[in-house]
Amino acid sequence: MLNYMAIDFETANSYRGSPCSVGLVRVRDGVPVEECHWLIRPPEQVDHFDSFNIALHGITREMVATTPRWKDVLPSIVDFIGGDVVVAHNAGFDIGVIRYACAVDNIEWPEIRFLCTMVLARRALSLPTYRLPYVLEALGGVIVDHHDALADAHAVVQVVRGLAAVQGVSDLDALATSVGVSIGRMTSGTYKGSVATVPSKGGGSSPLLQPDINPNADPDGYLYGRVVVFTGTLMSMTRQIAWEECARVGAAANESTTKRTNVLVVGDINPAALQPGSKITGKARRAFELQEKGQDIEVMTEDDFLRCLGGKDLDEPEVLLSTEGINGSVAPVPVPSRLRMIPMAQRPEPQPPQQLKPPKPPRPLRRTPVPTTQACSIDNCTNTAAFKTRTKPTWCEQHIIEQQRRGGLVPLESFTHPDDWQLTECLTCTVQAHYRFEYTLDKNTYAEPTCRACFWRAWARQSRDMHGVWAKVEPVPYEKAKNIAEKSQYEYLGPLTAPSLPDDPHHVRCRRCGRISAERLSDIASGCSTCKPSS
């Protein structure tokens, strides 16, 4: 049966191990039965927010200021996953978030089995792109609030359901087998992705070429005359470029650990796994065996290797990463893939990180109305339009109110512009909230009420009916809802159902822009959409 855990991470910056949000959805027999969403403070060493990432997901440093650190929330995530297979779209990224964040915090990776819907889609479908929104659309679904971790996790559930239907299977293992891939596995120190069980047409990777050692290399260089072996994927360069860099500084590179080996460079392997009794790669195990026999083999991180290549002294070579301890090791920042294949000397100079500008104040909800002489677009109406437009219909205030009443609203303040937020009251449930007139027009097209309080109440009831005995019916405590709202810069106005059940709407006012809205707790935790910077 389709039993698994869908997952999606959002990160604070370009470093993969900087999680700031995670969404998880437990699926049983293809149906979501439980969900969880956390905002996370990234590990301390990578705790900064890039403007590009903020523009994608709208999460800021202030929004996570009081949330748990990664190392504190990880046990809860692992506990929620339990023994389920984790499914993600581009699992290399999402599982990589776990690996890299654990490496920075110096903790072991959890043991997780996982499957990638991007890999599945590439083998089952023929599409121009395999990004999540396009795959979902090709399977007949529509993504809601892309880059919200919980919304994207729900989208993964729809993708799995659609791919299973396309392949005519009803089991996760059968789905993987049907397109020739296997379920990946990450343990405390090793990683094996969702690899193909059927060989691809392209064959294997190119063999490594042994470069000539630079005869003019500095004999005082730290790696000069040494034999270097690499284990794990390097984040800063390809293995071939690493060999060439060794030759440039007078070192020889080798594929396997032998009695000639002097240095073992540990790449994309969790440093916390390099401890006695841990599961490690064969190269690392062989190096430690030779160390015990008296051979002088130094085990160093990729960061230390880069320092050696740059001619920088290592402060204490004898206490570099070893079986005795790894405190203070820092994972290097990943280099863009296009640069990993370029020798170090030919790469452009790195630019210092730009200081983030303080967030701009939110745009006012309303603007001053602009007078117009344009006539209302309604036939036989002689009134002046309330706003000017060149290509779309326009209305006078009377007919604008009629459109709003058609959408189930009555305005509580004057009209200014179709894109402005206007305080209204629902004619059905009397909940007051701000809506844009353009939004009401769009909902009228589909004969759907504008009021989100009415919509989410109906949606939550339908969802519980669909889940049946699996539905979550434990009431949400008032204090819990209030805390979520206040952490997300909202003033909590109260629940909109009694009792307030999961997925039911709540009444909130944004502390920054003042917009009043009716939203689910998962949407509230993502912050006010009006205040999010545009991408």
Which among 330, 264, 266, 277 is positioned nearest to 100, based on CA atoms?
330
Contact 116, 175 (CB under 8 A): no
Q: Give SS3 for 9.
A: strand
Amino acid at 326: I
Instruction: Determine the pLDDT at residue 199.
Output: 45
Tens of pLDDT, residue by residue over 191-219, are 455 544 444 444 445 678 888 888 888 88
Q: Is residue 318 domain-shared with residue 439, that is, in the same domain?
A: no
Q: Please say which residue of 149, 165, 192 terminates a domain.
A: 192
User: CA 212 from chain center: how many Å?
Assistant: 43
**Closest of 391, 390, 397 to residue 376, by C-alpha:** 397
Residue 128 lies inside a defined structural domain of this protein = yes
257 and 139, same domain (yes or no): no
Q: Is residue 378 part of a domain?
A: no
Residue 221 lies in a domain: no
Domain assignment present for residue 222? The answer is no
**Domain span including residue 466:** 397-524
pLDDT at position 147 is 81
**Residue 358 resides in a domain:** no
> Amino acid identity, residue 489?
Q
Residues 179 and 290 reside in one and the same domain: no
**CATH classification at residue 335:** 3.40.50.10190
Total domains in the chain come to 3
CATH of the domain at 12: 3.30.420.10
Q: Is residue 240 part of a domain?
A: yes
Residues 166 and 30 in one domain: yes
174 and 51 co-located in one domain: yes
Cβ pair 446, 390 in contact under 8 A: no
Same domain as 231, residue 187 = no
User: What angle is formed at CA 256 by the lines to CA 321 and CA 309, rounded to 5 degrees?
Assistant: 50
Q: Say if residue 46 is in the same domain as residue 178.
A: yes
Question: For residues 433 and 241, what is the distance between their CA atoms, to the nearest angstrom?
Answer: 59
User: Are residues 426 and 329 part of one domain?
Assistant: no
- Give the integer Cα–Cα distance in Å for 69 and 19: 9
DSSP 8-state secondary structure symbol assigned to residue 353: P
Where would I find the beta strands (DSSP E) of 167-226?
A: 184-186, 191-192
Structure tokens belonging to residue 26: 């437990």
Same domain, 246 and 185: no
Would residue 381 count as lying in a domain?
Answer: no
Q: Which residues of the chain have pLDDT under 50?
A: 191, 195-204, 276-277, 315-331, 534-535
Burial 197-211, CB ≥16 within 10 A → b, else e = eeeeeeeeeeeeeee
Lookup: tokens for 465: 């009916």
* pLDDT attached to residue 283: 67
Is residue 375 a part of any domain in this protein? no
Same domain, 146 and 231: no
* 395 in Cβ contact with 418 (< 8 Å): no
Are 172 and 288 in a shared domain? no
**End residue of a domain, out of 167, 192, 217:** 192
* Nearest one of 65, 37, 38, 36 to 49, comparing CA atoms: 65
Is residue 237 domain-shared with residue 182, that is, in the same domain? no
Of 310, 328, 343, at which residue does a domain stop?
343
Q: What is the pLDDT of residues 117-167, one digit of tens each?
A: 988 988 888 776 778 888 888 898 877 777 899 999 999 999 999 999 999
Q: How far apart are CA 185 and CA 358, in angstroms?
A: 41
Distance CA(43)–CA(12), nearest Å, equals 10
